[in-house]
A and B are shown apart, each in its own frame.
Chain A
């Protein structure tokens, strides 16, 4: 893919930095995607906490994607697609690690006998 189209005389004039436009668009989107969740939480805009949490997480995921494409320039062309593949692989492992830990530990906690949890919860120092 990229091997044939590379300019041999300019080995380092390469992938890895985008255009001014991609940086400016990425910055504008990130600013909006940061401001909204902060506004939601600091201003107590929604009375429903579950909805607020879901929206905050959604905006974070969107902003991570914006950073990935506008700032890190991950795409299917760079390095013949290997950066993209490594990125997707990492994202999957990351999700399994975090969601899996939360899930398992939540169940362990709720399966504890009440008598075992109580002294820990009161936690007098």
Chain B
């Protein structure tokens, strides 16, 4: 139950610098906090509030609006099965029932070993491959019961670690630069600017 680590604190400050108003960085920073601990701990919420000059209640009140943020611990693998229309008419509800039986938990529940949390989700925009699910927001389509068995085994054995990072890790690509448009003009810069070449074909 930790505050943000030094590295994550630095990432948070870099995010804040990208926005005209600091509070805009709240959702991206909460994703970092969730990446760090797997869920949003009270300490992390307090720390994020301090960074953005907000009350912890304001941070909690915002976080609680969004389905992807958890204010309680969840499993290492968040299995989200879609049952919305396109999946429903292609076996999504049956897949969810199968997942419940296979993992031994109802939607919202976490397995005793902390490996899996199961949830029913609304449409995740992968309807061309219905029924579908995500694990930690990595997509799997046209999932049969056998596929689900294999997937659960592979995840538990750590065989998919490269494709499916632990819960909370959303975007593994870091932004390489800060804001540049307003950077001061270096001497001679504008003289170097050439008229753009039209390249229409």
Do A and B actually bind? no
